[in-house]
Structure 1
Amino acid sequence: MPRITQDPNLAESPDFDSIEFQAVYAPLATEANPVENIIGTLKAAWTHNNNAKKAAWEAQVEQDKAAEEATEQERQAAVEAEEAMKEKELQETEEANQREKEKRKPKVQNFTVNKVVDSVSDTCPSPYAIHKLRQGEYIELYYFTPEACSEAERAEQTAAKDNITFTSVGDQLFMKPAAAYKAAKKVIRDEDLTFKQLTLAKNDMLRHMGQEEWPEQHVVALSVFFFKLESHRLRKQDGGDTVVLRYQSQVCREWMEALKGTSDEDVFDISVINDLRLNQMYTEHLNARHSQGVLCIRKTTLSPRELWSSLGFLGGSRDAEMPGSLKSYSACLRCL
């Protein structure tokens, strides 16, 4: 249907009663259909046609209104989508800026107001030792002795600034003194430590294992292992400490390596002391002492002049006359 361009509500009905219209209808009038009837028919026809146009106009107006509303809705939706996109981009930019600010912030923890510093300075092993613990790898107890911790602190403080290495924390890289991340030059093997060093070192190592979030089961088992060794009856025997330290060194290394291994075999419980192995090691220790000549006597004959000369170092005079009783003396030395 063609589009209606004029509002039919504004249209005015023709003056069908005018002389001009009557002059047109007069020839059509008959006795059965006078002019008045013709005029009435024309008025009714025009009104009916105009009402139809009004209905079509109203429908057209509603369609236009609906189209305009749809267009407005589309425009509004486009505007809102654009604003939402801008808002999202702005939010993403702000979040990115906030993340960047967080990255630049010093990585420090909060502190407790009025909390006093510890009376004793806390020992801190080298970063190398902590890295080993963090990776679950075997590390000698020496690194956790007070002397090794002090040496690590001095090394980190005096390391040359141009000798640096990189370490990662999360998604960030930090520069650290390279010397602090190297193995110690003079590491004392576990079996060569004193029991005092062992006691101090194992306490510090267990504490740092907890801080590095080792499984509690592992930390407890290792703690029981050290406790049983410290109180083991073999320590009362001659050379017992040496054997117990050697057992600790071997078993602790084997346990750490087994934990990192890929074998399907179950890892042994380090807290269970193998007394048979300890006794065998003690027997081997005694045999080694015997074979090395710990209990044997080596006899050496010195000339009288050599003996008198050696005695001179003990307070006598080399130039003094040698007693005759020493002229045929043979000395025996015991090697321990």
Structure 2
Amino acid sequence: MARVERDPTGDVCPAFEQPEFQAVRDSMKPNPPGEPRSEEEVLRMLRDSWKAGHDKRVEDWNMQVQRDREERERLEREQEQQDEEQAERPEGEGQKIEEDNGKKTKKVYFDENIAVGDTITDRPASYTLNKLKLIEYIELFYFTPDGCRKAQKESRSTASTETWGITQMEGEVVGLQPISALKLSKFVKPDTELSWEEVMLGRHAMIQEMMKLGDEVWPVKVVEAFNTMYAALDAHPMRRQEHGSEATVKYQAHVRREWYDRQARKQGFNIGVINETLLRSMRDEIIDKKKTESLREVSVQGFQKNLYSFRLPNPYPSILSE
């Protein structure tokens, strides 16, 4: 129930007989199919209606006052009980309990029927996981085995001289994190330069880390959409064509980057739906680029051949002929 904002007990019935209520009274006089209501009947109806509403408002107000009184009394009793318990505790124990209440108790998980797996995958760098948690773009290379190993090697080499930086954690909350968790690796390879095998290896690790972060960060339907995109590209007939794998690499690179750019603008799209027109246009661009490079190479080779076969005229023909 909504709270009553003010005490209505002192309200007085309006003077409905005044000229400012004439339009209201006139609108209530028609009474089809009976005789029109008289002025006295209309005034009585208005006053009765106001009184009924006023009585209800007063009743709600009194109930609210009673509830507020009971709530105050309950809080006072709880405070008195806490004060009594605090007074009975040995000195210093109360502070320790308050400190303990502020700490989160960690739980040890154990399953006697499960053993460690046959393999342990390389863990992505802190920088990578931090970006993924913040739903910010991160190169797929960081999730590949090569990317994980190089990032770990970098991390070990800087561990002894680690510095810290300020970063936004959640909402307006800021915190300190190692610089290694915030900086780009010098070994990073752009998505467009990956092989399709590297893409699929990176995709698998990325999906696994998304799932670990849970539905609050990465909703299941979004993770499934990413997985669907890579599965569809991997099985796409174009990959059996010339430059098909290069096209799928380029497609996933640009589309995934576009997805993150849209997220930054609070927009989104289903990345799991393959845009066939866009995919074909990217393959066409690759083919055109290859043709241009081939023509340029042929032109350069032809120029060099002509250059080497060119002979300057002999400036001293008479001397050489003697």
2:209 matched to which residue of 1?
208
What is the deviation of 1:294?
4.9
Aligned to 1:243: 247
**Alignment correspondent of 1:48:** none
Distance in structure 1 (CA, Å) of the matches to 2:113 and 2:163: 37
CA RMSD in angstroms comes to 3.2
Partner of 1:194: 195
Task: Call closer, same or farther: CA 1:146–1:95 in 2, change over 3 Å.
Answer: same
1:144 paired with 2:146, answer no
Q: Where do 5+ consecutive residues of structure 1 fail to align?
A: 1-80, 305-336
Change (3 A) 1:85 1:177: closer
Tell me, which stretches of 5 or more residues in structure 2 are unaligned? 1-78, 310-322
- 1: CA distance between counterparts of 2:308 and 2:263? 62
Distance 1:186 1:243 in 2: 24
Query: Residues 265-280 of structure 1 correspond to what in structure 2 (within 5 A)?
Result: 267-280=268-281
Is residue 2:133 matched to residue 1:134? yes
Specify the code of the residue in structure 1 equivalent to 2:219: P
Q: Tell me how far apart the structure 2 counterparts of residues 270 and 86 of structure 1 sit (CA, whole Å).
A: 61
User: Are 1:289 and 1:295, in contact at CA under 8 Å, matched by a contact in 2?
Assistant: no
Whether the 8 Å CA contact 2:162–2:178 is kept in 1: the answer is yes
Larger Rg: 1
Task: Verify the 8 A CA contact 2:207 2:227 in the aligned structure 1.
Answer: yes
> Any residues of structure 2 matched to 1:220-239 within 5 Å, and which?
220-239=224-243
Q: Is this contact kept in 2: 1:152–1:180, CA < 8 A? A: no
Match of 1:98? 100
Deviations 1:140-195 (A, max 9, x none): 1100000111122223333233323267999x999764334321112111111011
**Percent identity (aligned):** 27
TM-score of the superposed pair, with normalisation by structure 1 = 0.56
Letter in 2 for 1:140: E
Q: In the alignment, which residue of structure 1 is the partner of 2:13?
A: none
The one-letter code matched in structure 1 to 2:109 is N
Taking a change above 3 Å as real, the CA distance of residues 258 and 82 of structure 1, as seen in their structure-2 partners, is closer
Task: Give runs of aligned pairs for residues 1-336 of structure 1, distance below 5 A.
Answer: 85-88=83-86, 90=89, 92-99=94-101, 102=103, 109-113=108-112, 115-165=114-164, 177-213=178-214, 214-262=218-266, 267-294=268-295, 297=298, 298-299=301-302, 300-301=305-306
Identify which range, 292-301 or 143-152, moves more after superposition.
292-301
**CA offset digits 1:75-103 (Å, max 9, x no partner):** xxxxxx98862414648534213236x46
- How far, CA to CA, are the matches of 1:138 and 1:124 in structure 2? 18
1:69 is aligned to none
Secondary structure, aligned partner of 1:292: helix
How far apart, CA to CA, are the structure 2 residues paired with 1:219 and 1:148? 21
CA distance in 1, matches of 2:169, 2:265: 26
C-alpha separation in 2, matches of 1:203 and 1:122: 11
Taking the aligned partners of 1:84 and 1:239, their CA distance within structure 2 comes to 75
Does structure 1 retain, via aligned residues, the 8 Å contact 2:247–2:279?
yes
For 2:107 and 2:146, the matched residues in 1 are separated by: 28
Cα 1:136/1:192, change in 2 over 3 Å: same
* Alignment: residue pair count: 217
Contact 1:193 1:245 in 2 (8 A): yes
Deviation at 1:196, TM superposition (A): 0.9
2 CA distance for matches of 1:191 and 1:185?
17
Q: Distance in 2 between matches of 1:258 and 1:302?
A: 53
Partner in structure 1 of residue 51 of structure 2: none
Separation in 2 of the partners of 1:289 and 1:160?
Answer: 44
* Counterpart-to-counterpart distance in 2, 1:211 and 1:95: 33
Q: Specify whether residues 296 and 112 from structure 1 end up closer, same or farther in structure 2 by C-alpha distance, changes over 3 A only.
A: same
Question: 2: CA distance between counterparts of 1:249 and 1:168?
Answer: 27
